[in-house]
Amino acid sequence: MFDSRHIRTFHEVVGSGSYSAAARALGYTQPAITQQMKALERTVGVPLFIRAGRGLRLTEAGEALARHAEVILGSLSAAQQQLSALSRLRAGRVRICAFPSANATLIPEAMARLLAEHPGVRVELLEAEPPESVQRLLRGECDIALAFGYPGAPGQQAAEGQTPPELVEIPLLEDQLTVLLPVGHPLARRHAVRLSDLTEERWIAGCPRCRANFLQVCAEEGFAPDVVFTTDDNLAVQSLVAAGVGIALMPTLVLSFMSHRKVTGRLVEPHLRRKVSAYVLREHLRVPATALVLDELRSAAAARVGC
């Protein structure tokens, strides 16, 4: 197997016509070139040069190798160019898996800035609710997973159980939960409502994990809510609330981009919130494109502080 450095040196020697010139061009001293070419001739088993007075002349083998050197160095250079593009963010693909409300808020905001600065980067977006998205990450189906979790619930972390050690969690924002009331509801005149004032209401619950968290919070407040409807479709929840079927808890993030005309959100006491984080394989942090997307997500989340 040839040493690519020898090939490059050989090519330079052929191009410049002398050992000394090649040494100057490559930043070596002249004896280094002599040694390299000697080593190359040893591996080839045939002389490559014939000394002709002050200049060098190629043997038949030298001519052949010179032709091949062009090809070899060309393919090496092509590889280098593509990988350099990946490392310099002139190229790269990032697959993100996120939940719907992030897809409607954080992701578009981050993407706008990202694509403006790095037009060569490509993003693929998948939609999945939290437990699923992290599993996809672990299965290698995506590079970044956006998930939310409710604090204090061991079994309710983004991944099943605790976050696996090879996973890195990047906290993005704390999403306040609000009580969704139909306009005209007696409590809608207040700025914030107490959960304990809502024990007699009928409730509409969201996704399974949201519902589980909701039930737990109510239990801590000392009551069991009357859940009359369950759906993970945020639009359906809002419509049901508007129709007077019941009231619901809903993250502010959702309300920031979608709000039924006939519903209104009110802060709830005690403060409830879900934690939105990005997850990534630890080793993936070193992939430039992935790190870039994470940065933009962080920025987008920071711009929403208090949301």
Shortest distance (Å) from residue 3 CB to DNA:
6
Q: Is 120 in the site for a copy of itself (CB under 8 A)?
A: no
CB hemisphere CA count around 230 (13 angstroms): 11
Residues 234-273: x where in contact with a copy of itself by CB under 8 A, - otherwise, as a string: ----------------------------------------
Residue 106 burial by Cβ neighbours in a 10 Å radius (0-12, 13-18, 19+): buried
Determine phi and psi for 277, rounding to 5 degrees: -135, 155
Q: Is 68 in the site for a copy of itself (CB under 8 A)?
A: yes
Q: What does the block give as tokens for 211?
A: 């519902």
Binding at 30: pick from DNA, a copy of itself, none (beta carbon under 5-8 Å per type): DNA
Closer residue to DNA (CB): 5 or 93: 5
Tell the residue number behind the tokens 């997307």, with chain if given: 293
Nearest to 108 by CA among 146, 135, 148, 158: 146
Q: What does the block give as tokens for 13?
A: 């020697």
Binder among 29, 35, 82, 196 for a copy of itself (CB under 8 A):
82
Shortest distance (Å) from residue 287 CB to a copy of itself:
6
The helix or strand, by DSSP H or E, that contains position 67, with its residue range, turns out to be helix 60-87
Q: Is 35 in the site for a copy of itself (CB under 8 A)?
A: no
Binder among 11, 274, 284, 304 for a copy of itself (CB under 8 A):
284
Q: Is 52 in the site for a copy of itself (CB under 8 A)?
A: yes
Contact 298, 172 (CB under 8 A): yes
Please give the residue ranges that form the binding site for a copy of itself (CB under 8 A).
Answer: 1-5, 7-8, 44-47, 49-52, 57, 59-61, 64-65, 68-69, 71-72, 75-76, 78-80, 82-84, 86-87, 92-93, 140, 166, 281, 283-284, 286-289
